Amino acid sequence: MHTNRKTVGIVGARGHTGMELIRLIAAHPVLQLAFVSSRELDGQRVADHVDGFAGELHYASLDPAAVAAQDADVVILALPNGKAAPFVEAIDAAKPDTLILDLSADYRFDPSWYYGLPELTRDKWRGEKRISNPGCYATAMQLSIAPLKDLLAAPPVCFGVSGYSGAGTTPSDKNDPEKLRDNLMPYALTGHMHEKEASFRLGVPVEFMPHVAPHFRGLTVTTNLYLTRPLKRDDVLQRFHAAYDSEKLAVVTDEAPWVSRIAHRHHAEVGGFVVSADGKRVVIVATLDNLLKGAATQAMQNINRAIGVDEFTAIPVGQE
């Protein structure tokens, strides 16, 4: 079907999201994995670390100049916050028409980069070759709030819980299964990066209180919204169905979704829609797999659109 294969490289491929991306790319009819850069896994076979990947590709430790010299069509930056700029600068200098997708927060506030939350920003893409992938929590919060944004009487308040894969692979209290056992660990209770991101993108202040739980993957956000005028539950549902019924990866559910049902799924679920007696407060619950719709799957949606193939190519959709 597609003769013009495109090469793709991943920088920071050791992390959980990097591994999910490798799996998605392995199943892609157009994208071909050209390099995977990881300091810690330098020289090791990718196939020994990632189920579902076959072939002799090895991890390499590539600095920004070496990444740019690979001459890939697409470069995915899966690095911790604050590390992307040297790679972007090197690619800008060597091969500026490379498609760069950054998974960190580094360019989410940069107006010259396209912010790729397709369900909300699909019509804002103008062919940019610089794409900033949204944060996992920020995705869930925005999907929960956007359909009611014009009726907010106060800042939305979001209570979030994620699995410890969201804390990355660098050891810390937040990804230590012993410390998390039978526990819920609050952190960054004001000023979290995704709070700033959701506020900036929605244009309304959002308040967010994240927690880490003992499960590995999947997040849930419960959002409390005060409204300027009373709504019936049917009115709320109508707005969400209008926003997302045509979307393959944003599913409106009547009941509040469960985080235990979202692991390894590629879509987000938004549901609950419990309205107070006076009709001026609604509580909404959203779940998604933080490594998939919160990261790798969303990246694939954005890359697919940018390389001119169907947005859902190689994304397992509708495996309900």
- DSSP for 268-299 reads EEEEEEEE-TTSSEEEEEEEE-TTIIIIIHHH
What's the pLDDT tens digit per position in 214-240? Answer: 999 999 999 999 999 999 999 999 999
| Positive or negative torsion for Cα 68, 69, 75, 80 | negative
159-185 core/surface letters (b: 16 or more CB in 10 A; e: else): bbbbbbbbbebeeeebbeeeebeeeeb
Banded model confidence at residue 93, pLDDT cuts 50, 70, 90: very high
Q: Give the mean pLDDT of 197-214.
A: 98
Q: Give the mean pLDDT of 261-285.
A: 98
Q: Is the pLDDT of residue 160 over 90?
A: yes
**Residue of 210, 204, 185, 75 lying closest to 135 (CA atoms):** 210
**pLDDT score recorded for residue 18:** 94
**pLDDT score recorded for residue 320:** 42
Q: Give the mean pLDDT of 144-162.
A: 98
Q: Is the pLDDT of residue 257 over 50?
A: yes
How far apart are the C-alpha atoms of 204 and 157, rounded to whole Å?
12
Angle at 31 between CA 27 and CA 36, to 5 degrees: 90
Is residue 158 annotated as part of the catalytic site, yes or no? no
Token digits of residue 226: 């005060």
What is the secondary structure of 207-235 as a DSSP string? EEEEEE-SSSS-EEEEEEEEBSS---HHH
**pLDDT score recorded for residue 120:** 98
Q: Is the pLDDT of residue 52 over 80?
A: yes
**pLDDT score recorded for residue 169:** 83
Is residue 148 packed enough to be buried (19+ CB in 10 Å), middle (13-18) or exposed (0-12)? Answer: buried
Banded model confidence at residue 304, pLDDT cuts 50, 70, 90: very high
**pLDDT score recorded for residue 303:** 98
User: Average pLDDT over the chain, rounded to whole?
Assistant: 96
Banded model confidence at residue 317, pLDDT cuts 50, 70, 90: confident
Banded model confidence at residue 2, pLDDT cuts 50, 70, 90: low
Q: Is the pLDDT of residue 168 over 90?
A: no
Q: Give the mean pLDDT of 81-95.
A: 97
How far apart are the C-alpha atoms of 153 and 149, rounded to whole Å?
9
> Of 78, 120, 136, 231, which residue is the catalytic one?
136
Banded model confidence at residue 319, pLDDT cuts 50, 70, 90: low
- Give the CA distances from residue 244 to residues 65, 126, 238, 249, in Å, rounded to whole numbers and listed in that order: 42, 22, 10, 9
How far apart are the C-alpha atoms of 38 and 36, rounded to whole Å?
7
Task: Count Cβ atoms below 10 Å from residue 140 Cβ, excluding itself.
Answer: 30
For residue 263, the one-letter residue type is A
pTM over 0.75: yes
How far apart are the C-alpha atoms of 119 and 134, rounded to whole Å?
12
Strand, coil or helix: 120: helix
**pLDDT score recorded for residue 225:** 98
For residue 158, the one-letter residue type is C
Q: Is the pLDDT of residue 35 over 60?
A: yes
C-alpha gyration radius of the chain: 20
How far apart are the C-alpha atoms of 184 and 243, rounded to whole Å?
33
